[in-house]
């Protein structure tokens, strides 16, 4: 999965209306997108000043990329919910660490490994808090946060499990797919967990009823990434062929729209920016800002050398 030992931060000329800029700054492992109101607080030292386009009313930011050499192949990334921390955890011995997420408001991190274990580590001390051996029947490929006390994991044989981090126990288990779980996302209002897989299908798991509620038809393409957009009305899936498949909520059997302008490079990662725009990471290393309905490539925002973009992450920092 991992192909390069670096992370890139960049966002040249990311634009948004000057009257709609929230009072925060967004960072990403692949993008650096500062957005703020000039009247609220000064910019950090060393940051470039935005230039307003007189014709469009947009603020243009030109920020140089920053590459972090990790020295090893990265598989996943997650940002601390409140602090700018850099943590190295030797979690799984000789086995690789495929997935990582902060839990308990950033006091601990959980990691998943091909040895089928899930490990919780204290951020402050670096010591192990809990270890779930053989938590899955196959190698763990994906972890996501659901609530403050629950996480979901997906493995190489298509099984999805939900875990209570307080009780260190499994709450739900779904044999949702026939191939590896490539990505998951959560609809908290309806308690539905969505998963996509190398078997080319999208699943909707009902956590209240502990069942796979619906599964899409085979798309003839591996589904690699998924996000929920348009205030819960649309589900976007990235595919091996580079197409974005758009599903309407409640109608998951077949996609309602298909956006192919990113083809032929696979869309390995999706990061929701807002309800109308998503950041895509492709196998050719290109990171793009894409509009959804209307579907269009708004602009390329970074390039991750010649290697694939495996994951995208975002960090929010509030200036006072």
What would the pLDDT profile of 223-279 be if each residue is shown by its tens digit? 999 999 999 999 999 999 999 999 999 999 999 999 999 999 999 999 999 999 999
- Cβ atoms of 145 and 103 closer than 8 Å: yes
Q: Specify whether the CB–CB gap between 246 and 257 falls below 8 A.
A: yes
- In this prediction, residue 14 carries a pLDDT of 37
Instruction: Name residue 246's beta-bridge partners.
Output: 236, 257
- Token pair in block for residue 46: 């060393």
Instruction: In whole angstroms, give the CA distance from residue 121 to residue 100.
Output: 11
Quick: pLDDT tens for 84-93. Answer: 765 555 556 6
The answer to whether 53 and 61 have CB atoms below 8 angstroms apart is no
pLDDT for 35 equals: 34
Full-model pTM = 0.80
Longest dimension (CA), the chain: 59
pLDDT at residue 54 in the model: 53
Say what the pLDDT of residue 302 is.
86
Q: What pLDDT does 19 receive?
A: 36
Write out the two tokens for 50.
């935005």
- Give me the half-sphere count of Cα atoms (radius 13 Å) on the Cβ side of residue 103: 28
Tell me, what's the pLDDT at 303? Answer: 84
In angstroms, rounded to a whole number, what is the distance separating the alpha carbons of residues 119 and 73? 20
Contact call for residues 180 and 201 (beta carbons, < 8 A): no
pLDDT the model gives residue 25:
32
- What pLDDT, on the 0 to 100 scale, is given for residue 85? 65
20 three-class SS: helix
Between CA 260 and CA 245 the distance in angstroms is 9
| Nearest residue to 162 (alpha-carbon basis) of 10, 176, 16 | 176
The segments of the chain whose pLDDT lies below 70 read 1-66, 85-93, 316-320
pLDDT at 209: 96
């Amino acid at each position: 999965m991992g192909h390069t030992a670096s992370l890139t931060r960049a966002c040249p000329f990311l634009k948004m209306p000057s009257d709609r800029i929230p009072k925060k700054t967004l960072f990403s492992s692949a993008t650096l997108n500062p957005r703020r109101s000039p009247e609220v607080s000064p910019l950090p030292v060393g940051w470039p000043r935005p230039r307003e386009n007189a014709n469009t009313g947009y603020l243009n930011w030109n920020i140089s990329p920053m590459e972090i050499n990790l020295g090893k192949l990265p598989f996943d990334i997650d940002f601390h919910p409140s602090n700018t921390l850099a943590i190295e955890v030797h979690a799984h011995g000789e086995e690789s660490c495929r997935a990582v997420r902060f839990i308990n408001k950033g006091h601990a991190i959980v990691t998943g490994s091909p040895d089928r274990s899930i490990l919780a580590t204290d951020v402050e001390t670096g010591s192990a808090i809990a270890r779930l051996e053989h938590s899955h029947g196959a190698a763990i490929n994906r972890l996501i946060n659901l609530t403050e006390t629950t996480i979901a994991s997906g493995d190489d044989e298509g099984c999805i499990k939900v875990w209570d981090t307080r009780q260190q126990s499994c709450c739900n288990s779904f044999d949702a797919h026939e191939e590896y779980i490539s990505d998951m996302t959560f609809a908290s209002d309806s308690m539905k967990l969505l998963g996509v897989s190398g078997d080319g299908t999208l699943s909707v798991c009902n956590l209240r009823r502990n069942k796979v509620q619906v599964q899409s038809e085979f798309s003839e393409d591996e589904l690699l990434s998924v996000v929920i957009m348009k205030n819960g009305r649309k589900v976007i899936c990235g595919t091996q062929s580079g197409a974005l498949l758009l599903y309407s909520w409640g109608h998951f059997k077949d996609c309602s729209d298909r956006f192919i302008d990113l083809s032929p490079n696979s869309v390995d990662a999706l990061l929701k920016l807002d309800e109308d725009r998503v950041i895509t990471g492709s196998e050719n290393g290109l990171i793009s800002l894409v509009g959804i309905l209307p579907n269009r490539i708004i602009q390329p925002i970074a390039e991750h050398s010649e290697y694939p973009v495996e994951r995208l992450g975002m960090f929010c920092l509030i200036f006072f």
